[in-house]
Structure 1
Amino acid sequence: MSSRSVSARVSPSARRFVRRLSAGRPGHVVHGAKTLIAALLTWCAAAPWAATGRPFLAVATALLMVNASTVHQSVTKAVHSVAARVAGLVLALGATRLLGPTAGAAAVIALLAVPAGPRRAADDRLQIASTAVLALTATATGPVGGLVDPALQTLAGAVVGIAVNALVLPPLHLDESDSAVRELAQAMGSLLHDMGAGLEGRRLTSRAHGWLHRARSLDKRIVRAEEGVRAADESLHRNARCVAQTRRGGVPAAEAFSALRGVALQVRGIARTLADNAHDRHTGHHLGHEFLDRYAETLRRAGAAVQGFVEPPGPTGAAGAMPRERLRLAMDGVLAWHDTVTALIGGGALTKPGAWHVYGSLMTDVERLLADLDYADAHATGASP
């Protein structure tokens, strides 16, 4: 069988997986190197004084800490892990002294550790219970040594894991955050542009339901972008790399996301108004063609403004207008169209009996959309809004 026929039989999902794996290879190499360093350092540090000379518990703890997604999370996990394991060892020691290393001691541990306490701490309580049950034998053979050695191993592994995670290329999630925010802006800009093109092509009735569905599906992108922004902000805490690496210019991801979340409300409002109007049975409520033509141009310019809002800055001296200049041009164009259409509505040139509320809703949503972008851009660049 030829190689071409074999590659043809590979599923698209398998090819996507290979491409994703190849794209993330540098990150996997870094994680692998940090994991190996943490394991070796922990073994060398804990082996001389570990009770058996084999500090597996210390190494296991270090691996958990070094693979935390952020330095802040590694510190938080270390505190919870050390506290939970020490509590489990103390519980095991008490149960062993009262009942001995028997099934009764295991039952007491399960009754005390698992059902008690708030539900939100269920993971910690399960870790306490599992640690206590596993420590029953050790505490039975040597109560004091069985308590102190695992506790010290956990503490040593946590310290080494945090140190390696914080000092050896500590993780940053700025790229993922910026990418998620940029994808959100691209999706909203594309939807605005498509709505403009559909209005110009007299396809309001056939496309309105699809536009509304796309507007509502923006919620998933908003959640993903919010998670990315939160992870990026958390990754900067206690991170040595943030001292030497500043964030890229332009509107910061957190501020851009805050503005885009408000813009999404206006985009959804525009889509909902158009969908309602397309299926309104009252002919007097339908939008006029002249207004739709002018509003189509407004939506296309608004889409360009939304997409330009998150464009990364180019190199100094690059040809063409800078992102802020392109954003201002797009916004100025929309404002000009807005003023023109508002004047026509006010003069009675575009109104139809019973349709004034539809005109007002559409124009207000565009005006608020631009106001959100203008305020966020001016606040980020220090200019006057």
Structure 2
Amino acid sequence: MFTGAAADRPPAAPAAATSPGGALRSDAADAIRRHPRLAGFADRVRAPAVSQTLRAAMAATLAYVVALQLSSGHKPLTAPLTALLVVQVTFYATLTTGARRVTAVVVGVLIASGFSALVGLSWWSLGLIILSSLVAGRIVRVNEFVPEVAISAMLVLGVTHVGDTAFTRILETLIGAVVGLTFNLLLAPPVWVEDAGDAIEDLARRLRRLLLRSAEQLTVVTPPAVAADRLRAARELDDFVGEVDTSLRRAEDSLRLNPRVSEGLMHRVVLRTGLDTLEISAVVVRVLTRGLADLAKARSPREPLFPRDVGAALQDLLGYVGDALVSFAQLVSTEVSASAETAAGRLEADLAAAHAVRDRVETLLLDTVQEDEENWFLYGALLADVNRILDELDTEHRSARLLEALDRSGRDYRERLPRLSRLGAWLTR
């Protein structure tokens, strides 16, 4: 009945040019997408858990083989253990984790060497070395590897030839870390931008479906229980927003220091600001459904929420708002310039239609308020909620947010790494 209330829009045109890293889409990928079974198998293989398992197993095995050749240890299991813990889903996580883990092991070995030369191993020295190792781990900021400092110290302290064992353990740890990092350089981990984009689009479609279901009750008698169900569904979106944020964080890590990606900062900022906009919209939609639930309680059992002409106009308005949310999600998650232009044009058309209908709804609500003065604040809140969503989706608002996020990112980088930023500026000049 109302515009935009049919089936969900299909996703934006599939990428046919370049990915964030600039690589061309292969014909093999197109063939896989045409076969559902192959596509399902490919999706399972690309899942984070599967990717992590295969990469970690291969890196650990390779580290053990290298350690057998370079280390004097009989069974150099420290090398595959380090590689197993160092290799992560993304190259950025691998690099940062490897550095922290190597630091934790070296600090633990040095502490154990010092204690063994002074006091040896006893119950009180063991407690003291554990305490010292944990404190040292906090000082050197190895984060989740603080227990690794104490574990390394205890393992080294418990052997007879501490000096030889300390050197061997450090060597094996370095071998495992280097193999893990080299493994990710030669076999670059996947970029999870596409998965994050799909999650953002899914969030927008959920918001659209909720708006359309809420619009269905505007011109009919709506029991308070039905309106309460819509409000409950809106509150459940908070959990899904958290899942999308987790997917986006993984995508952001996959873009950092990835040799397959150019302009990683821009991709991170576009996705992050897009999710922020949808998160704000989700909060506004929850407030909107709360207002409809309050209006349903205020109505008599046989009275619809709105007169038929007002309800029909509101249905059109919520339909256009839902379409604009999906178009916005497709715009921020589109990788190809041609598809991005199509999504931007569709968003502009949806926003223009929504603003036109909004003006008509505003006039109708003013007439309705004169007949129903008791609920005037609910009518005003409903219109204000729609205005907030349209303002968040506005292209000028989005451009300003992107520029602000880019400036903030550059400022944080300069404050966090002042020497490196000055060196980069000097090289640029």
What is the TM-score normalised by the length of structure 2?
0.71
Contact 1:196 1:298 in 2 (8 A): no
Contact 1:313 1:322 in 2 (8 A): no
Contact 1:101 1:137 in 2 (8 A): yes
Identify the residue that residue 83 of structure 2 maps to in structure 1: 62
Contact 1:288 1:352 in 2 (8 A): no
Distance apart, 1:364 and its partner CA: 1.1
Contact 2:220 2:305 in 1 (8 A): no
Q: Which amino acid in structure 1 is aligned with residue 117 of structure 2?
A: R
Rg comparison, structure with higher value: 1
Distance apart, 1:376 and its partner CA: 6.6
Identify the residue that residue 303 of structure 1 maps to in structure 2: 322
After superposition, the Cα gap between the structure-2 partners of 1:236 and 1:37, relative to the gap in structure 1 and judged at 3 Å, is same
Identify the residue that residue 91 of structure 2 maps to in structure 1: 71
Q: Which amino acid in structure 2 is aligned with residue 291 of structure 1?
A: V
368-377 or 193-202, which deviates more: 368-377
After superposition, the Cα gap between the structure-2 partners of 1:193 and 1:213, relative to the gap in structure 1 and judged at 3 Å, is same
Q: Which amino acid in structure 1 is aligned with residue 167 of structure 2?
A: V
Does 1:363 find its partner at 2:383? yes
Choose from 123, 128, 145 the match for 2:149: 128
Q: Secondary structure at the match of 2:262?
A: helix
Distance apart, 1:328 and its partner CA: 2.9
How far apart are the structure 1 equivalents of 2:321 and 2:149?
A: 56
How far apart are the structure 2 equivalents of 1:299 and 1:269?
A: 14
How far apart are the structure 2 equivalents of 1:264 and 1:165?
A: 38
Distance apart, 1:281 and its partner CA: 7.4
Q: Which amino acid in structure 2 is aligned with residue 303 of structure 1?
A: G
How far apart are the structure 2 equivalents of 1:100 and 1:351?
A: 89
Distance apart, 1:46 and its partner CA: 3.0
Identify the residue that residue 11 of structure 1 maps to in structure 2: none
52-61 or 348-357, which deviates more: 348-357
Q: Secondary structure at the match of 2:217?
A: helix
Q: Which amino acid in structure 2 is aligned with residue 57 of structure 1?
A: T
Contact 2:52 2:89 in 1 (8 A): no
337-346 or 20-29, which deviates more: 20-29
Q: Where do residues 33-44 of structure 1 align in structure 2 (5 Å cutoff)?
A: 34-35=55-56, 37-44=58-65
Identify the residue that residue 236 of structure 1 maps to in structure 2: 255
After superposition, the Cα gap between the structure-2 partners of 1:123 and 1:314, relative to the gap in structure 1 and judged at 3 Å, is closer
Does 1:257 find its partner at 2:271? no
Alpha-carbon displacement from aligned partner over 1:237-291 (angstroms, at most 9, x marks no partner): 110111399999xx942232121112112211211111122223799x9954243
Identify the residue that residue 279 of structure 1 maps to in structure 2: 297
Does 1:95 find its partner at 2:120? no
Q: Which amino acid in structure 2 is aligned with residue 212 of structure 1?
A: L
After superposition, the Cα gap between the structure-2 partners of 1:137 and 1:316, relative to the gap in structure 1 and judged at 3 Å, is closer
What is the TM-score normalised by the length of structure 1?
0.79
Q: Secondary structure at the match of 1:220?
A: helix
After superposition, the Cα gap between the structure-2 partners of 1:30 and 1:286, relative to the gap in structure 1 and judged at 3 Å, is closer
Distance apart, 1:366 and its partner CA: 0.6
Identify the residue that residue 408 of structure 2 maps to in structure 1: none
How far apart are the structure 2 equivalents of 1:89 and 1:325?
A: 61
How far apart are the structure 2 equivalents of 1:346 and 1:29?
A: 57
Identify the residue that residue 170 of structure 1 maps to in structure 2: 189
How far apart are the structure 1 equivalents of 2:44 and 2:138?
A: 39
How far apart are the structure 1 equivalents of 2:244 and 2:334?
A: 20
Identify the residue that residue 51 of structure 1 maps to in structure 2: 72
Distance apart, 1:34 and its partner CA: 3.7
How far apart are the structure 2 equivalents of 1:85 and 1:132?
A: 8
Question: Which structure ranks higher in relative contact order (CA pairs < 8 Å, sequence separation ≥ 6)?
Answer: 2
Identify the residue that residue 15 of structure 1 maps to in structure 2: none
How far apart are the structure 2 equivalents of 1:88 and 1:166?
A: 28
Identify the residue that residue 34 of structure 2 maps to in structure 1: none
How far apart are the structure 2 equivalents of 1:43 and 1:181?
A: 41
Contact 2:222 2:296 in 1 (8 A): no
Q: Where do residues 173-212 of structure 1 align in structure 2 (5 Å cutoff)?
A: 173-203=192-222, 205-212=224-231
Task: Give the total of aligned pairs.
Answer: 355
After superposition, the Cα gap between the structure-2 partners of 1:351 and 1:240, relative to the gap in structure 1 and judged at 3 Å, is farther
Q: Which runs of 5+ in 2 are unaligned?
A: 1-38, 403-429
Identify the residue that residue 6 of structure 1 maps to in structure 2: none
Q: Secondary structure at the match of 1:55?
A: coil
Distance apart, 1:372 and its partner CA: 1.0
Q: Which runs of 5+ in 1 are unaligned?
A: 1-18
Choose from 324, 332, 337 the match for 2:352: 332
How far apart are the structure 2 equivalents of 1:361 and 1:164?
A: 56
Identify the residue that residue 24 of structure 2 maps to in structure 1: none
Identify the residue that residue 374 of structure 1 maps to in structure 2: 394
After superposition, the Cα gap between the structure-2 partners of 1:355 and 1:126, relative to the gap in structure 1 and judged at 3 Å, is same
Contact 2:67 2:172 in 1 (8 A): yes
Q: Where do residues 3-42 of structure 1 align in structure 2 (5 Å cutoff)?
A: 23-26=43-46, 31=52, 34-35=55-56, 37-42=58-63
How far apart are the structure 1 equivalents of 2:266 and 2:44?
A: 21
292-301 or 230-239, which deviates more: 292-301
After superposition, the Cα gap between the structure-2 partners of 1:314 and 1:72, relative to the gap in structure 1 and judged at 3 Å, is closer
Contact 2:391 2:397 in 1 (8 A): no
Q: Secondary structure at the match of 2:373?
A: coil
Q: Secondary structure at the match of 1:73?
A: helix
How far apart are the structure 2 equivalents of 1:345 and 1:23?
A: 49
After superposition, the Cα gap between the structure-2 partners of 1:222 and 1:197, relative to the gap in structure 1 and judged at 3 Å, is same
Distance apart, 1:292 and its partner CA: 2.8
Distance apart, 1:61 and its partner CA: 0.9
Contact 1:294 1:341 in 2 (8 A): yes
